[in-house]
Amino acid sequence: MTLLLRDPTAEIASALRPRRPALDTLVGKCVALLDIGKMRGDEFIDRLEILMNARGIVTRRYKKPTNTRSAPIEIIHDITLNCHAVVIALSDCGSCTSCSTHDLSIRWMSATFPESAC
């Protein structure tokens, strides 16, 4: 007799979304620099900020309380409202990368970046 079992999974599938088109230029745009709290992430972002500002790119700094969780919604909202692009650093391995991916994929990509910000 055929055995029927129940599915132990959440019965969901990944949604594939097209990537947002790249910005034509960063000049005059606002780039969020999100420090996720990993060791030496701040050094990386400090350097990036200097390099960007030198090229006329406006930056806006953010910091997650911990890399082990997805970002607080307030941070996501602020970035979404005020920035055109974001750099998340340093997501280099396991939990930090997973949480950063969530920050990008689940919340970010569904949000609408403003035409003008900063």
Partner 1 sequence: MARRFPPPWSVEDIGGCLAVKASNGRPLIFIYYAEAGGRRSLARLLTCNAALQGRCTSSETSAMIEIGPDGLVIFAKKECPTCNLVQPVAQELANRGRPVIVFAQDDTSFMDGLTVEDDRSLKQSFLHNIEAVPTFIRFANGREVDRTVGWNRSEWERVAGVVGLGQNLPAFQPGCGSKTREPGVLEHLIARYGDPGLTSRRREVGDWDDPVETAYERGRSDGLPVVPPTDERILRMLGGTSRKPEEVVGRVPPNLALCTVEKVAINAVMAGCKPEYMPIVLTALEAALEPIATLHGLLCSTCSGGPILIVNGPIARAVGMNSGINALGQSNRANPTIGRALNLIVRNVGGGRPGELSRATLGGPHKYTFCFAEDESDPEWRPLAAARGLPRDTNAITFFQGDGIQAFVDQRSRTAPELIRSLAMALFAVCHPKLCEFTNALLVLSPEHYGIFRDAGWDRGRIESELHKALIRPGKDLVQGAQGIGEGIDPSRADEMVNKFWPEGLLIVRAGGKAGLFSAICGGWTGGRFRDQSQPVTKEIKS
Q: Is 10 in the site for partner 1 (CB under 8 A)?
A: yes
Residue with tokens 């999100």, as numbered in its chain: 34
Among 37, 42, 63, 85, binds partner 1 (CB under 8 A): 37
Among 48, 85, 87, 97, binds partner 1 (CB under 8 A): 97
Q: Do the Cβ atoms of 56 and 85 come closer than 8 Å?
A: no
Residue with tokens 């969780």, as numbered in its chain: 69
Among 58, 60, 85, 102, binds partner 1 (CB under 8 A): 102
| CA-angle at 61, arms to 57 and 114, nearest 5° | 60
Q: Which residues pair with 87 in a beta bridge?
A: 33
Alpha-carbon distance 95 to 99, whole Å?
6
Which residue's CB is nearer to partner 1, number 11 or number 24? 11
Which residue's CB is nearer to partner 1, number 11 or number 115? 11
Which residues of the shown chain bind partner 1 in the complex (CB under 8 A)? 1-12, 37, 65-70, 93-99, 102, 106
